[in-house]
Amino acid sequence: MPQSQKKQKHFSNQMGSALNYDCHQLQHWLLHTPMGREILRKERFFLHNNVPGIFGLNSLQIGLGEINLLQGNKIPNHYTINIDIKADLRFIPLATNSIDLIVCPHVLEFTNNYHHVLQEFHRILSPQGKLIITAFNRYSWFGLFKSKIDILKKARLIKLGQLKDQLQTLNFHLEGGKFFSYTPPFKEARKIHKYRWMNKVGDRWFPTLANSFTIIASKEVITPTLIKRMDREAFKIPETANLGTAKICNKN
């Protein structure tokens, strides 16, 4: 077995329990249902056009291990944490500042408190390292019909504004992103194709109501600037000039 696969298995077995996450069910939905394939196709296209320009030594994909979302990236060491059991991503068994790129596809929706997960991402990312998150949007058709979509019944769909605030609180710099899919979650491919025009309308008129989105952020490291001790002479108050005693001259 390749060394990277051994590490992936080790990561999975070392995790505790905190996620309501069925990786195989989600992968099956993305790969084998018309709506899932539509979402995955758009997200893959975006990622494959953005990850090749990210450089470093180590990259990490968390979740969806059967779907390679790091394809085309030139970072030499790719790792995957394939979450096929209930996992606790609050404690990722990786060294601090060790990862240059993290791709996290549709994992935060299934965490009890994704702020702690973002803290771990910030810890293991190297300075200026990139974080790419894909998530299902709460304010969308998916949010409206969540109870009728099997894979989303246990999910906590993400508020984009709240996610941005959390990232900025942790000193992530927001670099960009993309919205995907504005059609209702039809089960039939013909209906998805029939209403595909809604994607163009959505992109232009109501982009924040997309079914899913991707956001790219980088880890900012604030380094303290040492201030030299100032010379007291620089702040010495100038003495009043001694002009002497004024004399009145008598011309007489």
Over residues 46-75, the pLDDT tens digits come to 999 999 889 999 999 998 888 899 888 889
Q: Average pLDDT in the 33-52 region? A: 93
Give the whole-angstrom CA distance, residue 179 versus residue 50: 14
The yes-or-no verdict on residue 10 having pLDDT over 90 is no
**pLDDT at site 193:** 92
Q: Could you tell me the two tokens for 236?
A: 């010495």
Is residue 16 scored above 50 in pLDDT?
Answer: no
At 53 the pLDDT is 87
Quote the pLDDT of residue 222.
74
Rounded Cα distance, 15 and 40, in Å: 27
What pLDDT does residue 65 have?
82
Q: Is the pLDDT of residue 156 over 70?
A: yes
Task: Give pLDDT, residue 81.
Answer: 82
How far apart are the C-alpha atoms of 174 and 152, rounded to whole Å? Answer: 27
List phi, psi (to 5°) of 176. Answer: 160, -170
Using pLDDT thresholds of 50, 70 and 90, give the confidence band for residue 191. very high
pTM: 0.80
pLDDT on residue 170: 95
Q: How far is CA 49 from CA 24, 40, 46, 129, 156, in A?
A: 26, 14, 5, 18, 28
**pLDDT confidence of residue 34:** 94
Give the per-residue pLDDT at 212: 96
pLDDT value at position 123?
95
- Partners of 103 in beta bridges: 61, 132
Name the percent of the chain lying above pLDDT 70: 76
Domains recognised in the chain with CATH numbers:
3-222 (3.40.50.150)
Say what the pLDDT of residue 63 is. Answer: 86
Tens-place pLDDT, residues 202-251: 999 999 999 999 999 999 987 666 666 655 555 555 555 454 544 444 55
pLDDT in tens, 91-132: 788 899 999 999 999 999 988 889 999 999 999 999 999 999
Q: Say how far apart CA 58 and CA 78 lie, in whole Å.
A: 6
With residue 62 as reference, give the H or E element that holds it: strand 58-62
Could you tell me the pLDDT band of residue 5, with boundaries at 50, 70 and 90?
A: very low
**Which range has the worst mean pLDDT, 4-18, 113-127, 132-146?**
4-18
Cα–Cα distance for residue pair 167/44, rounded to 1 Å: 23
Q: What is the pLDDT of residue 25?
A: 86
| Helix intervals (H) in the chain | 3-13, 23-32, 34-48, 114-124, 141-144, 160-169, 189-194, 197-205
Dihedral pair phi/psi, residue 83, rounded to 5°: -85, 90
Q: What three-state secondary structure class fits 176?
A: strand
